[in-house]
A and B are shown apart, each in its own frame.
Chain A
């Protein structure tokens, strides 16, 4: 059995003055399932990286204290040895797969640690079976969905038969069905094979049932470490840090109703008439015969499983893609006849990967960039920039380089940059990624308030049911590029058959 012992561990990244981990003491017993949570930037990922040896072997910084797995000090032990005891599943399935086919990906780790070819042939189908991908051996990685990719990544780790499994927000990019499937696999590994699991997430509700222990972190320190049975008896520590707690109703039902009833719809901003879109080289339409009309003041949530066409639809609505068939009318103008420069100031978009938007030397310059391009008056630019910095909580980092910030801060910078243009149509692709609940709600509260006050439109694509329930006036539910439902959130979330059909429930 392989316990994890962490003793007085501190770690400071080279570019930082304050430690990311500060005097961590924790012992994890063999077979434990630890839920590790805390606000963005509290040090969860850094702690996981010290357990599998990525710190200090693959990352510079100053470390003190010790980390041992199975009585072996991972700081001094080569990673090729540690990886045989500790598996690490990363957040984004796109960035962790190296090979072309599923079989090669799983064989890659085994080859690295010197498992003979015969044993690899034996382990491969077993690992695929464990993650429910039997028969996927020869499938190309590029042809898999995000959920399948994450399962392949998990199979490539469990084929190495680690005693400890570290999971760094492994479901944050996945739809509910894929999330459920990953959680079931992890549960089986823990209960049936006795694998010790450390699972970091902001989505406490998802994992709470599986764990036997809860660890809460803040500012590089452990502020709570209790068995699950007693961890949530006092919700204050979680609430103080804005961390989700189980059995809490984050959805303010009354507020939704009031919001929805109080909407005064203005002129039509966006009109999609029987549109289809097919990517070059693809044999299937990503969006099929879809029609909807969106007016000023509406806040719309687009929901659907991974690959259902949410991002494609957002890009079509923003004029970034032009429909293969049908018509998209943006503020009364056919998108096929519009160039992107004509849409500047009318449409604002923040991609799921906010980094694609960040090009300036400082956060402040980033927010100034758009209004300056629109040649607005200096006073107006200053007001917009100050407002955006305030709304998106960027005051302390206004002079920092955007790309040096944490994921959550980068996303807030991208949101502020798009919001400073005060677009009539504001499009957000998966705003929840990398944000803790507190930040997310504060941003959405401010954004929705501003959208309603200025009679603009906010359209966001997400898997996050609570976010849609709380903020959207209307839901567009997609499945395989087709519209399954267009209406009030309350109606869709009460229809369990509809949610199952859209793979948003199981």
Chain B
């Protein structure tokens, strides 16, 4: 899996993106999530990468579970416990009460599995693909050259942004600025101002990098003359995996359509009843 060409990895990510949108069941989404973790596992991540990924997963899962559990507004919904009763002065009366809903948690689990699967596959691509391969792969997938270069450059600059943000915050503090103040508007203004050097630095560095690659013959308009020192042609393994994913996606779309027709009384066939059950229970 580590040796897949960049194009295959991007196609896998796009197909997985479609899959997780189509799937509704936590079981099937969990299988997709496990698959994404498998990809990461075989790419031999460093301890720092594992820590970073766990942090991402923790934040997204917590954020989605928390928000869905509280703000779930579809019906039916079952209250698990109440945080602020509706008769609580001001806040309760104003909001009509704040409760945690069982269906909201369930919905949060589904959403976080969807989000985390694509997040993990995205990390897998970034960590196992060189910037040059990613750029060429995106352009071969007919993504506009300028956009492909922007995406690749943005990914390349992530560590720089993290490092520079820390330096900016430290230097502002050393100049007496306090980010947390009673005057919330001053705090927000200070935070916005702190983005200025980071943004200016990124633009400047990206411009230099763009000029450097253009000075070495890179053009976002044409790839026809370009050669490749390392073969990045899709091999049988790449074709095999892409085929499996495509077939899975087609099968799921087909099953969902069949189930949709059955559920809406459009078409029913008794020999398809196992398909209906499978779609309802698993997909």
* A351 interface hit (Cβ, 8 Å): yes
**Which of A27-35, A197-205, A285-293, A367-375 touches B?**
A367-375
Report the bound CA distance from A160 to B212 in whole Å: 14
Q: Is the CB of B212 within 8 A of A359?
A: no
Please indicate the chain B residues that have their CB under 8 angstroms from the CB of A370 in the complex.
175-176
Evaluate whether A99 and B201 lie within 8 angstroms (CB atoms) in the complex, with A114-B225, A343-B174, A369-B177 already known. no
Evaluate whether A104 and B197 lie within 8 angstroms (CB atoms) in the complex, with A98-B213, A116-B227 already known. no
Q: How far is the CB of B262 from chain A (nearest CB, A)?
A: 51
Report the bound CA distance from A88 to B211 in whole Å: 10
Q: Is the CB of B227 within 8 A of A100?
A: no
Q: Is the CB of A348 within 8 A of B219?
A: no
Q: Is the CB of B229 within 8 A of A83?
A: no
Q: Is the CB of A340 within 8 A of B174?
A: yes
Q: How far is the CB of B159 from chain A (nearest CB, A)?
A: 9
Q: Is the CB of A347 within 8 A of B174?
A: yes
**What residue in chain B is nearest A347 (Cβ atoms)?**
B174
Please indicate the chain A residues that have their CB under 8 angstroms from the CB of B170 in the complex.
320, 340
The answer, among B132, B178, B196, B215, for a CB contact under 8 Å with A99, is: B132
Interface string of A85-128 (1 = CB under 8 A from B): 00110101011111111011001111111111100110010000
Report the bound CA distance from A153 to B211 in whole Å: 13
Q: Is the CB of B214 within 8 A of A57?
A: yes
Size bracket of the A interface: 35 or more
**Which of B71-79, B202-210, B251-259 touches A?**
B202-210
Q: Which of B131, B171, B204, B216 has the most CB of A within 10 A?
A: B216
CB within 8 Å of A: which B148-186 residues: 156, 164, 167-168, 170-178
* B200 interface hit (Cβ, 8 Å): yes
* A495 interface hit (Cβ, 8 Å): no
Q: Is the CB of B197 within 8 A of A109?
A: no
Q: Is the CB of A87 within 8 A of B215?
A: yes
Q: How far is the CB of A315 from chain B (nearest CB, A)?
A: 9
Q: Is the CB of B225 within 8 A of A80?
A: yes
* A451 interface hit (Cβ, 8 Å): no
Please indicate the chain B residues that have their CB under 8 angstroms from the CB of A99 in the complex.
130-132
Q: Is the CB of B229 within 8 A of A111?
A: yes
Report the bound CA distance from A34 to B177 in whole Å: 48
Please indicate the chain A residues that have their CB under 8 angstroms from the CB of B46 in the complex.
281
* A353 interface hit (Cβ, 8 Å): yes
Evaluate whether A108 and B213 lie within 8 angstroms (CB atoms) in the complex, with A80-B225, A100-B130, A115-B227 already known. yes
Q: Is the CB of B167 within 8 A of A117?
A: no
Q: How far is the CB of B87 from chain A (nearest CB, A)?
A: 43
Q: Is the CB of A112 within 8 A of B211?
A: no
Interface of B is mostly: helix
Please indicate the chain B residues that have their CB under 8 angstroms from the CB of A360 in the complex.
193
Q: How far is the CB of A51 from chain B (nearest CB, A)?
A: 11
Report the bound CA distance from A280 to B130 in whole Å: 24
**What residue in chain B is nearest A117 (Cβ atoms)?**
B229
Please indicate the chain A residues that have their CB under 8 angstroms from the CB of B176 in the complex.
341, 344-345, 370, 373-374, 421
* B99 interface hit (Cβ, 8 Å): no
CB within 8 Å of B: which A444-478 residues: none
Report the bound CA distance from A114 to B176 in whole Å: 54
Evaluate whether A113 and B130 lie within 8 angstroms (CB atoms) in the complex, with A281-B48, A351-B167, A355-B197 already known. no
* B265 interface hit (Cβ, 8 Å): no
* B217 interface hit (Cβ, 8 Å): yes
Please indicate the chain A residues that have their CB under 8 angstroms from the CB of B229 in the complex.
103, 107, 110-111, 117, 120-121, 124
Q: How far is the CB of A108 from chain B (nearest CB, A)?
A: 6
Q: How far is the CB of A342 from chain B (nearest CB, A)?
A: 10
Q: Is the CB of A111 within 8 A of B175?
A: no
* B56 interface hit (Cβ, 8 Å): no
Interface string of A315-333 (1 = CB under 8 A from B): 0001010000000000000
Report the bound CA distance from A476 to B258 in whole Å: 77
**What residue in chain B is nearest A357 (Cβ atoms)?**
B171
* B236 interface hit (Cβ, 8 Å): no
Please indicate the chain B residues that have their CB under 8 angstroms from the CB of A344 in the complex.
173-176
Report the bound CA distance from A475 to B174 in whole Å: 26
Evaluate whether A80 and B219 lie within 8 angstroms (CB atoms) in the complex, with A98-B209, A100-B131, A111-B227 already known. yes
Q: Is the CB of A95 within 8 A of B212?
A: yes
Q: Is the CB of A351 within 8 A of B130?
A: no
Q: Is the CB of A421 within 8 A of B204?
A: no
Report the bound CA distance from A169 to B184 in whole Å: 45
Q: Is the CB of A84 within 8 A of B217?
A: yes
Q: Is the CB of A83 within 8 A of B215?
A: yes
Q: Is the CB of A90 within 8 A of B208?
A: yes
**What residue in chain A is nearest B160 (Cβ atoms)?**
A94
**What residue in chain B is nearest A403 (Cβ atoms)?**
B200
* A79 interface hit (Cβ, 8 Å): yes
Report the bound CA distance from A29 to B205 in whole Å: 33
* A349 interface hit (Cβ, 8 Å): yes
Report the bound CA distance from A351 to B172 in whole Å: 12
Q: How far is the CB of B191 from chain A (nearest CB, A)?
A: 10
CB within 8 Å of B: which A251-304 residues: 280-281
Report the bound CA distance from A111 to B219 in whole Å: 11
Q: How far is the CB of B39 from chain A (nearest CB, A)?
A: 19
* A439 interface hit (Cβ, 8 Å): no
* B218 interface hit (Cβ, 8 Å): yes
Q: Is the CB of B201 within 8 A of A355?
A: yes
Please indicate the chain B residues that have their CB under 8 angstroms from the CB of A349 in the complex.
171, 174
Report the bound CA distance from A111 to B131 in whole Å: 14
Evaluate whether A92 and B225 lie within 8 angstroms (CB atoms) in the complex, with A52-B215, A359-B196, A417-B175 already known. no
Report the bound CA distance from A110 to B229 in whole Å: 9
Q: Is the CB of B227 within 8 A of A341?
A: no
* B274 interface hit (Cβ, 8 Å): no
Please indicate the chain B residues that have their CB under 8 angstroms from the CB of A418 in the complex.
175
Please indicate the chain B residues that have their CB under 8 angstroms from the CB of A95 in the complex.
205, 208-209, 212
Interface string of B10-51 (1 = CB under 8 A from A): 000000000000000000000000000000000000111000
Q: How far is the CB of A9 from chain B (nearest CB, A)?
A: 19
Q: How far is the CB of B199 from chain A (nearest CB, A)?
A: 9
Q: Is the CB of B226 within 8 A of A356?
A: no
The 5 closest A-B pairs by CB, nearest first: A373-B176, A109-B216, A112-B217, A344-B176, A96-B212
Q: A101-B130, A344-B173, A356-B197 are in contact. List 9 more A-B contacts (CB 8 A).
A: A80-B217, A98-B212, A100-B132, A117-B230, A160-B216, A281-B47, A339-B173, A343-B174, A359-B172
A to B CB contacts below 8 Å, 6 in the list: A100-B131, A109-B218, A112-B218, A114-B225, A351-B167, A360-B193
Q: Which residues of A contact B (CB under 8 A)?
A: 49, 52, 54, 57-58, 78-80, 83-84, 87-88, 90, 92, 94-101, 103-104, 107-117, 120-121, 124, 153, 156-157, 160, 280-281, 318, 320, 339-341, 343-345, 347-349, 351, 353, 355-360, 369-370, 373-374, 403, 417-418, 421
